[in-house]
Amino acid sequence: MSIYEIQAEIGKNGLSRPNRYEVVLLPPSGNRGQKNSTESRKNFSQIMSEMLGDGTIRGAGLRCESIDMPGRNVDTTPDTNIYGPGREMATGFSYADVTATFQCSSDMREKRFLETWQRLAYNPHTWSIGYYFDYVGTVQINTFDEQNKKMYGVELVEAFPKNINAQSLSYGTNNSYQTVQCTFVYRYWKNTVDESRIDNKPILLRENHNQTSRRNTKNTPAVVSKLGGMFS
């Protein structure tokens, strides 16, 4: 490989710049359990709706000055039941948390938005935990080329801010600005280029299997069901 081939390759496909990105925050509405929810939880849902309407949530995404592009790990275990060099076998998947830092407006609306999202997960008066799908949402991270064309993106599925870090205040920081850092947890992530069609297919398959099993059980004669129970 010559230097000219390297230059031609870079000139053909360019380089991905880490400062050309956007963050899109899609929090939940928090109203799945609205009928039986407490008054405080209804208030937090209302606050979230107002933040969505007045542009606070969109603005928070624009003020995200740094964020991690998530990684993915294939969990493995050694296969020791062989002779010679060992090998690793896949046993599952695991995902690392994503940390993001947001610039704060003078009224700290970005911090209040993250706090409101957290409060959808619990009741600060009774300390009871809310419905799971009341507090999980989506976080999208998209990268762009130098012509502002979207080139790659990831979507954090069933995400919510787990941690909101402490903020330092000091008289000596005259030329700086306040930021708030939070850690998002999520169930899994998918890239929006060639994994965009992934949508909980394993769950749907399992639900279809359960429905088929229930139909088969319903049509099974009582005597057979009784015999099956004796040997289970």
CA 121 – CA 33 distance, rounded (Å): 12
CB 123 within 8 A of CB 40: yes
pTM for the full model?
A: 0.76
Distance, in Å, from the CA atom of 49 to the CA atom of 152, rounded to the nearest integer, reads 29
What pLDDT shows up at residue 6?
A: 85
Structural tokens at position 25: 């925050």
22 SS3 class: strand
Instruction: Write the CB contacts of 78 (distance below 8 Å, at least 6 apart in sequence).
Output: 86, 87, 88, 89
38: which residues sit within 8 A by CB, 6+ positions away? 123, 125, 126
Cα dihedral 117, 119, 122, 123 sign: negative
Q: By C-alpha distance, which of 88, 114, 85, 87 is closest to 101? A: 114
The predicted structure's pLDDT at residue 232: 42
Q: What is the pLDDT of residue 230?
A: 47
Fold of 13-194: Pnp Oxidase; Chain A (2.30.110)
Which tokens sit at 134? 């009341």
Residue 231, pLDDT score: 44
Please give the Cα distance from 103 to 62 (Å, whole number): 9
Across the chain, which has 232 residues, the per-10-residue mean pLDDT values are 83 89 89 53 80 91 96 91 87 94 96 94 86 93 93 95 95 91 96 76 47 51 49 43
